[in-house]
Amino acid sequence: MPTVTIKGGETVWYKKTGQGAPVLHIHGSAFGHRNFEKMTPPMSKDWEVIDFDLPGYGDSIGRPRPGAMEGFAAQIVEFLDAIGIAKIHVHGTSFGAMIGLTLAAKYPQVIDKLVLSCFMCRYDQAAREMRNTWKRAAQDSGMAAVADLTSVAGFARVFYERPEAQAQLQSMRDAFSKNTPAALISGIEAAMRTDLTPLVPAVKAPTLLIGGAEDNMTPYQPGASGVGFAQIKEMRPEWRMEILPQCGHYLVIEQPEKTTDLITSFLRS
């Protein structure tokens, strides 16, 4: 697969699939591009899907830059410039949605339409405690253990009844193991320091929010210290929002076809 070196010196691995208007997938904090391995095939029937690894993840070389989400957003702008794309649809999920929101607020010229799935602008205390357990697992037991912990929190209960569940869990262990504990911990700490609430009013792009009804990682209605979809929708009532039943945090894995249909409908509207 191709790579490109961006202005800051990082080397970014990426893959283009399909034809049509381009859509950029921004992955979550531990997956790398394999976050979308179930979703890219149906998406690529109608769009040119661009999957990539953020610097410090997967097959990309380099480190996240200072500035937490703003550092990642700057790297993405340089990446898009390097591959010759001036404006693009963006779908970020989880940690990638936090980056996507930052990208849209700070660099509105590069965003056509924006899709944000399964994230909070500010973690509540429960989310912080959950992520502290992931940090300890990464340090003490490695990334496969983190994959198991996040799976327990991230999937709806009905997912585990599926015949393909165990194969999917192993795929997650493999994907997580491509990333270092240091990269995961850095991403978690960046997210825990971040409050994106002030950026919500600055987003100019039409925006779709997608969540899972059983998302325990980034719930629709977080505790009082957090800012989730419920609060975001109050701030931006014109934004479209869809909550998928019998679905957890990993909706791009649990319900890739339904998620694709919602995104395609939104992007074409």
pLDDT at 94: 96
Spell out the domains of the chain, with CATH numbers in brackets.
3-268 (3.40.50.1820)
**Which string of b and e fits 87-115 if b means at least 16 CB within 10 Å?**
ebbbbbbbbbbbbbbbbbbbeeebbebbb
Q: What is the pLDDT, as a whole number, of residue 212? A: 97
- All residue ranges of the chain with pLDDT < 50 are none
Supply the pLDDT for residue 97: 98
Q: Residue 60 — φ and ψ, nearest 5°?
A: -85, 155
pLDDT at res. 71:
94
What is the per-residue pLDDT for 19?
95
Cβ 78 vs Cβ 9: under 8 Å: no
The pLDDT score that the predictor gives to residue 232 is 98
> Which are the contacts of 223, defined by CB distance < 8 A and separation ≥ 6?
124, 125, 126
At 39, phi and psi to the nearest 5?
-100, -30
Instruction: Read off the pLDDT of residues 188-209 as tens digits, 9 standing for 90 and up.
Output: 998 999 999 999 999 999 999 9
Structural contact between residues 207 and 240, judged by C-beta atoms closer than 8 angstroms? yes
Residue of 68, 70, 79, 78 lying closest to 14 (CA atoms): 79
